[in-house]
Amino acid sequence: MNGSYAKPKNAAYGASADAPFVTTSTQEDPYPYQTGFGNRFSTEAVPGVLPQGGRNLPQRNQYDLYTEQLNATSFISTRQTMQHLWFYRIRPAVAHKPLQSLSTKHDMVASFGLHNPYVHFTPFTFEWGPLGQASTSEPTNFWQGIKTIAGHGDPTMKEGLAVHQYAANVSMGNQAFVNHDGDFMIIPVQGRLDIQTELGRMMVRPGELCVIQAGLRFKVVLPDGPAHGYIQEIFGAHYELPELGPIGSNGLALPKDFEIPIASFDIDSSDWEVVLKLAGELYHYSQNHTPFDVVGWHGNYAPYKYEMTKILALSSMKDQLDPSAYCILTAKSKISGVSLSDFCAFTPKWVNSLDSFRPPYYHRTMASEMMGMIYGTYAGSSKTLSPGALTCDNSFVAHGESYQAWKKATSVALEPQFQGEGSLSFMFHMSSHVAVTKFAMERHAQTKPPPESLWDDLQGDFLNHLPEINEKLYRAGRQLIEIPSA
């Protein structure tokens, strides 16, 4: 056969992929995406614009595009932690008018030290309702509608975080926003967010989260009208998938379910404004072209989105697992083995634990816990969490269910139960005290203090069993407990 390949009898050629996998568009989301958390991606809106032949920086790019690199980690970071991007764009990001301070009043806070008069560390329990729709008499876009609720640390120290609510009623128009302080995790509650980034477009729906990293310019359009939701911002660190340990190779959030935009660019020579946040202060500059002109890019510092109901959460046949069993993303602190924040989502699940107390138990923890609701009905008994609302229990502050809920849970017949149908809630589990902002304590329109009588009816039912207990103590030869007089 002269070395040629002969196809065996009864064999047929199959098929080969002609491109990497991308998702297909839907009516709710018109954009395709690459998939895979933390991958190194290569994407080009015009074939051939990415350099070949082992180089990132050719003498001259195809079609005279400019080369630009964005480094999100130091040059000497380990390969495991290195994050950066190479852009091939119509104009480099440096092409703009001089920066100026922006005098617009805002309620974004970045520094949470004891010296800041706009924040206060307090052990009080807080509950805030939805920030709600921005007033129609005051057009408010996405970045204008961000209100900081709580946080700790400082972006200048590359350590800490902030928790915000947002409410907007207009799209951003010819305007982009860039956050130099940290990575945004955005969680819509009402209204989709059509987000255009330098790397491509994402449509983020209620029930999904998206992460836009520090230094990336983006614009938010409101296709469904007024929108509101939550943001967590982390300083210095980046979100990671939690380690699986004994769970094995599959569980929690699967890397393949994270969606990353593909290259997309505009040709636009109209006037644009870019608003920049640095150390909590706002600046801006103008330019005579769109900032969204990246024709191709490659790297691993890319925005992404994730549908939270896809998590493979864990359950137990007895007792309760910790909230980390529902962790989607985590961020490391500077303390070895301690996370900066764990983001946990609570999706519908079967509860079939045997001879176990099923509601959340009475709890104190070194972490601060902030709960939010995306849709559905909150099943807890000591708070009135509704979609868009937010609660805060600071570190070591006791929390738990009402006495009535405890009584029911300790006496009800235990049958398999499907919990949380039609509901989605989440928790920011933050390993530090958090300071609450002056806005959240004094000017938030939906502040809900806990009822003063919430725990008044909680009984020490142990005392009802003292005769029985004394009988056991007597048989054991121990000192009896004096029964208090009525």
CATH number at residue 242: 2.60.120.10
Lateral strand order in the sheet of 424-430: 126-128, 390-393, 368-375, 424-430, 339-346, 327-332
Which band of pLDDT confidence, cut at 50, 70 and 90, is reported for residue 321?
confident
**Residues of the binding site for Fe cation:** 363, 369, 399
Question: 297 - beta bridge partners?
Answer: 43, 87
Of 151-155, 236-240, 405-409, the least confident: 405-409
Q: What tokens does 225 get?
A: 């009208």
In a domain, 479, yes or no: no
Taking only the tens place, the pLDDT of each residue in 66-76 is 999 999 999 99
Instruction: Please give the full DSSP string across 247-303, using - where no structure is assigned.
Output: G-SS-BS-GGG-EEEPP------S-EEEEEEETTEEEEEEESS-S--EEEEEES---
Percentage above 70 pLDDT, the chain: 97
In a domain, 472, yes or no: no
Which band of pLDDT confidence, cut at 50, 70 and 90, is reported for residue 486?
low
Tell me the average pLDDT across 188-202: 98
Q: Which residues contact 250 (CB under 8 A, 6 or more apart)?
A: 244, 312
Give the per-residue pLDDT at 5.
66
**Residues of the binding site:** 363, 369, 378, 399
Judged against a pLDDT cut of 60, whether residue 135 lies above it is answered with: no
Residue-averaged pLDDT of the chain: 93
In a domain, 459, yes or no: no
For residues 338 and 210, state if they share a domain.
Answer: no
Segments forming the whole domain that contains residue 189: 33-308
- Measuring CA to CA, how many Å separate 227 from each of 22, 193, 378, 468? 28, 8, 21, 59
For residues 300 and 258, state if they share a domain.
Answer: yes
For residues 293 and 383, state if they share a domain.
Answer: no
Residue tagged 């008044």 (tokens): 456
Contact criterion met (CB below 8 Å) for 224 and 191: yes
Task: Sort residue 6 into left (φ over 0), alpha (ψ -120 to 50) or beta.
Answer: beta
Give the per-residue pLDDT at 3.
62
Tell me the average pLDDT across 410-425: 88
In the chain, how many domains are there?
Answer: 2
For residues 131 and 227, state if they share a domain.
Answer: yes
Of 1-10, 144-153, 194-203, 296-305, the least confident: 1-10
Look at residues 396, 395, 378 and name the one whose alpha carbon lies nearest to residue 387.
378
In a domain, 258, yes or no: yes
Give the per-residue pLDDT at 448.
82
**Residues of the binding site for homogentisate:** 378, 399
For residues 110 and 253, state if they share a domain.
Answer: yes
Distance CA 130, CA 388 (A): 4
For residues 355 and 425, state if they share a domain.
Answer: yes
Give the per-residue pLDDT at 4.
66
Which band of pLDDT confidence, cut at 50, 70 and 90, is reported for residue 53?
confident
Judged against a pLDDT cut of 80, whether residue 485 lies above it is answered with: no
Which band of pLDDT confidence, cut at 50, 70 and 90, is reported for residue 2?
low
Side chain identity at 362, as an amino acid letter?
Y
For residues 383 and 261, state if they share a domain.
Answer: no
In a domain, 263, yes or no: yes
Judged against a pLDDT cut of 80, whether residue 372 lies above it is answered with: yes
For residues 83 and 201, state if they share a domain.
Answer: yes
Cβ neighbours, 10 Å, residue 30: 11
Look at residues 448, 93, 41, 17 and name the one whose alpha carbon lies nearest to residue 263.
41
Judged against a pLDDT cut of 80, whether residue 369 lies above it is answered with: yes
Asked which of 289, 308, 327 is the last residue of a domain, the reply is 308
Judged against a pLDDT cut of 70, whether residue 451 lies above it is answered with: yes
For residues 317 and 298, state if they share a domain.
Answer: no
In a domain, 193, yes or no: yes
Which band of pLDDT confidence, cut at 50, 70 and 90, is reported for residue 27?
very high
Instruction: Please give the full DSSP string across 156-171, using - where no structure is assigned.
Output: GGTEEEEEEEEEESS-
Instruction: Please give the full DSSP string across 4-15, using - where no structure is assigned.
Output: ---PPTT-----
Give the per-residue pLDDT at 175.
98
Tell me the average pLDDT across 353-366: 83
Contact criterion met (CB below 8 Å) for 19 and 44: no
> What is the distance in angstroms between the CA of the first residue and the CA of the last residue of the chain?
105
For residues 178 and 293, state if they share a domain.
Answer: yes
Judged against a pLDDT cut of 80, whether residue 45 lies above it is answered with: yes
The residue ranking higher by pLDDT, 327 or 409, is 327
In a domain, 118, yes or no: yes
For residues 289 and 317, state if they share a domain.
Answer: no
For residues 282 and 355, state if they share a domain.
Answer: no
The residue ranking higher by pLDDT, 96 or 409, is 96
Taking only the tens place, the pLDDT of each residue in 329-356 is 999 999 999 999 999 999 998 888 887 8
Asked which of 308, 339, 366 is the last residue of a domain, the reply is 308
Percentage above 90 pLDDT, the chain: 75
Tell me the average pLDDT across 252-272: 97
Side chain identity at 34, as an amino acid letter?
Q
The residue ranking higher by pLDDT, 209 or 412, is 209
Asked which of 275, 308, 341 is the last residue of a domain, the reply is 308
In a domain, 22, yes or no: no
Which band of pLDDT confidence, cut at 50, 70 and 90, is reported for residue 310?
very high
- Measuring CA to CA, how many Å separate 34 from each of 54, 241, 265, 304? 23, 18, 16, 9
